[in-house]
Every structure is written in C-alpha cells, then in structure tokens.
Amino acid sequence: MPLTGCRVLIVEDEYYIATELEGALTDHGATVIGPIADFSQAMAQVKRDGFDAAVIDINLRGKSAYSLAEELLRQHIPFGFATGYSADAIPARFRDVKIWEKPYHMQKIVDDLAGLCKSCRSQPDAR
C-alpha cells in the first residue's frame, strides 16, 4: 500500500469530507492524525508534530489556515492544501505546495501524499 508507514495529519472542518479523506488514506495504509476541524487544536498538533505530512483545508470555520501552513514550512513538514479555492487564489509564498481542489480526486491525494512521505523519509536531517 502506497501510504504504509506514513503518518498524515488531516485538518478539515467539513465532517463528510474529513471522514471520506480519512477513509481513503487509511485504506491505502496511512496512519491518520485527526481529522481536526478547529484551528487552535490544529495549530497545537502542528507544534507537537508527530506526523510525516499534512492535508490542510485553507478555511477552517471562517479562519484562514495559512499560519498553519507557514508553521509547517518552518518545520520542513510536507503538506498540501485541500480546498475549494482555485490555485490562483492562494498566496505566491505557497506556490510550491500541492493543491487539491474540491471535489477531490482521492487517488491523486493518495499518490501525492505517498510522494511527500517518501521524500520526507529520504531526507532524515531535513527536519
């Protein structure tokens, strides 16, 4: 399974989307942390670490998750945005971040996360 051994944080405030994403990732071998819908809880988890990659919704109950993304960049933790926003609406400082637009293609997220987790494992000193 492509995500075996990969610990993925899910930050998503829409219950059905979060549940579907969690199921798809675990079906492909991932260990899922979350889903977390609350910004403060998500930031606490990001600061605690304990995961290899993250999937972040940009808008969490009306609050922007860009500061979560900035913290992940600071810690060199790979992540992608799972969002209803188009790529051109995302700030330029995140231009190298994966973007999965809603409605999701779950296999694309699985494949991209497998690559992110693999690159994370191949660079143990990066974090």
Query: pLDDT per residue over 77-90, tens digit each?
Result: 999 999 887 778 88
Q: Is there a cis peptide before residue 103, judged by omega within 30 degrees of 0?
A: yes
pLDDT of residue 85: 78
Cα(11)–Cα(69) distance, integer angstroms? 11
Nearest-5° Cα angle at 41, 83 to 95: 35
Write down the pTM of the prediction: 0.90
pLDDT at 88: 81
Residue 22 confidence class, pLDDT cut points 50, 70, 90:
very high
Cis bond upstream, residue 124 (ω within 30): no
Fold of 7-122: Rossmann fold (3.40.50)
pLDDT in tens, 92-114: 889 889 999 888 889 999 999 99
**Domain regions of the chain by residue span:** 7-122
Q: In angstroms, rounded to a whole number, what is the distance separating the alpha carbons of residues 119 and 126? A: 10
Which stretches of 49-93 are DSSP H helices? 66-75
